[in-house]
Amino acid sequence: RAKNAAHRQDDVQFAYDIGTSLLAEVRRLQSLFSERDKTIQDMKADKDDLEKENDLLRTNLRQQETAADRFKEENWNLEVKNQEATAALNETQQTAARAESELKRATRQLTKAREAAENHKSEHEKVSASYDEFKTKYETDVAQMRKQAAALTREKSDLQASLDTMKTEMAKRERLIGKNRFGSPLANDNPPAEGSLQPTITTTKISSRLRSPREENWMPMALHSGLPDMPTTTTPHAILLLPSPASSSHPTTPQTSLKPSNKLSPTPTAKSAHSKTPSKERKDRSSSSRNSW
């Protein structure tokens, strides 16, 4: 028992030590468990956070993939637009080059057109000056021709009056000659009185005067409808002048006297369209003179 009592005391001490150590170990394990639980809770919280972050990252990834696809499509569209813009730029450059060449050609044509316009302007000024000069000359010539036409009209009136007077006197003298020829058979044997007026053939010389070529061309038109039929040469023509009935009652021998006339005659171009030729008119005048006598 003494031995066992000693051993028994050691066992109690040993059991006390074991209990103390076990208690300390339990406390330590409890603290470890509490720490482990806390760590697990922290890890769960971290896991939840990580899952949330993972979901967010996945969402962001999907968004980025979608944006990448969109950006790829936009990049492709931009590339196509870039190629189209490059082609348009090349075409624009070619068009600009052609436009520049056309501009140079148009500039040359404009220069030539301006030179031609200057030449035409100078020619127009010359033509205008010539036209004004010719117009002034034409107006002057027309005024002169009108004066000459008025003078010729007056001359025509005078000649017509003289012709009518001579026709009247010739008719009277023809009647008187006929009466004397058939009324008194001895009338032809009586010589004419010394102081009696004998019929004379007065030759009127148609004088001509110089006219300008413009007047020569204008006179036929101005005088065609108004002037009588007149000879166009300057050859003298005979006009029979018989004595008046009061001067003598017997027929007398015609006497020819040449008297130049100072009256103006129309130019050769002023002859009427139905005027006779000089030779035919002379024949007609000579035949009418023979018939009247």
Tens digits of residue pLDDT in 150-168: 999 999 999 999 999 999 9
Which residue in this structure is represented by tokens 């017509």? 160
Distances (CA, A) of 212 to 218, 228, 257, 267: 10, 23, 34, 11
Average pLDDT over residues 253-259: 40
| Alpha-carbon span 64 to 66, nearest angstrom | 5
Please give the pLDDT value at position 183: 54
Determine the residue type at 200. Answer: T
Share the mean pLDDT of the chain: 72
How long, in residues, is the chain?
293
Task: Return the higher-pLDDT residue of 192 and 164.
Answer: 164
Please give the pLDDT value at position 178: 79
Q: What is the pLDDT of residues 32-42, one digit of tens each?
A: 889 888 889 98
Asked which of 20-24, 97-101, 214-218 is least confident by mean pLDDT, the reply is: 214-218
Strands (DSSP E) contained in the chain are 200-204, 237-241, 255-258
Residue 21 — very low, low, confident or very high, per pLDDT cuts 50/70/90?
A: confident
In terms of Cα–Cα distance, which of 141, 163, 126 is closest to 222?
141
| Alpha-carbon span 217 to 269, nearest angstrom | 7
Q: Write out the two tokens for 140.
A: 């002057």
In terms of Cα–Cα distance, which of 207, 233, 217, 206 is closest to 145?
217
Residue 12 — very low, low, confident or very high, per pLDDT cuts 50/70/90?
A: confident
Phi, psi for residue 238 in degrees, rounded to 5: -90, 135
Determine the residue type at 286. Answer: S
pTM (predicted TM-score) = 0.30
